[in-house]
Structure 1
Amino acid sequence: MEHIRKAFDEVATEYDAQREYIIPDMRNYYGAAIWAAETPTATPAILDIGAGTGLLSALLLEKYPSATLTLLDISEKMLAVAQERFRNRENVRFRAGDYSRVDLGGPYDLVCSALSIHHLVPEYKHRLFERVCQALSPGGLFVNADQAEGETPYFTERYREYWDEFLKSGPLTSSEHAEILRRRDMLDKNEKLSVQLRWLHEAGFSEVDVVYRNRTFIVTVARKENPEKQKSSEGWI
């Protein structure tokens, strides 16, 4: 994970400014994640894993101003940008660490992530989904806005072509474009959407679905079962 930390340390200061030119349909993409992040409490405990500069967290705080939010990321320089973003917020804390290994803490009402987990190798992704489920309160949600491989090589190639054309259509310089492709080829370890959904079920989530997909870019939502609520609805108590 050290190479990932170094790569994102290098781009920390310009990361936010480039987002809309790198991610197609970015507003609807993030908007789907925020829509999916529905909790029964107005004061949820939230963990943002791979939080980076805090872009997703900022949107969540607009929805839940009284939330208690923890931002966890391997890059201290990315977190420094996030700390500046939230400098006047007392209910936000920051943890530097490798979320594929460190204790996630909890329990949380919501665990979220944006454009981070696809950097993990498959066995770490699978295990992370299990650890997220364990860190959630009963009934808690895991919202993951991330990337997915095509289900066949044909679709994988089509998705890459779509993304490349989007990058070329924006204001990025040729050197910036080349650097993004270099990072993609070096760091991205995308997995098929069908496999990710299976892993979420295997991790212990009772309800799993996809609320957004635009070629490579996906938003999945997984809900941890609440046994007490289920008993109540079935008349057991």
Structure 2
Amino acid sequence: MPRRRARRPWYRTRAFRLTRTAALAVVLVTAGVRCGGHDVPVAPAQAGAPAASAAGGGADEDERTAGNKASEPRKPPPRPLPRSPATTLRVPSLGIVAPIVPLRLGSDRHLGTSPLDRPKLVGWYAGGPTPGERGTAVAVGHRDTKTGPAVFAGLARVARGARIEARRADGRTAVYTVDRVRVFDKATFPDKEVYGPTRRPELRVLTCGGLFRHATGYTSNVVVFAHLTATR
């Protein structure tokens, strides 16, 4: 039998390689070793375009509701929280309640991932902001593994305006609101847009997306952009 060509390691993909752009804010790698062995495509989307199932209505909805939103009083943004490690992630609209494990850089300057034998865990980059802290925080999780769907199997379906809640070790919870969901091709992954520093507390939640290829893994990454809207 012909020898199979070795698949490129997930942590060597451009989308999650350590870059100068990301160094000051976040450093992470793909959301799974291979994000599982199942060919479960995300809703078709071009690189940088909204996922069809997660765009929350698109530009037409924005135009319809712009007048109403303009008349509503704006609440002052919550104050950033001091540093405290993340412990649990909740996405109520998707039914996700997941323990969080801290992820750190290895000697090769790449971030580890949550264990494949515990696919329901979420990894949080411990070297970046903690929940509610100012800056760009990052959470990653597997989409699937060889044994079936994982914690972020349905992440592409999260809607704009949905809540993402991150509980902290000090007992407080940082509540983020989803601004947008994008599917980016790994070959043209926009490091600066995703990982760039921010003045307010923001969160990026990532997993694999697109089509699965045995030689190279998933073709894309699902990225959820959210910002802090409440603390409790």
Q: Which has the higher strand share?
A: 2
Instruction: State the TM-score, normalized to the length of structure 2.
Output: 0.28
Instruction: State the TM-score, normalized to the length of structure 1.
Output: 0.27
Which structure has the higher relative contact order (CA within 8 Å, separation 6+)? 2
Q: Which has the higher helix share?
A: 1
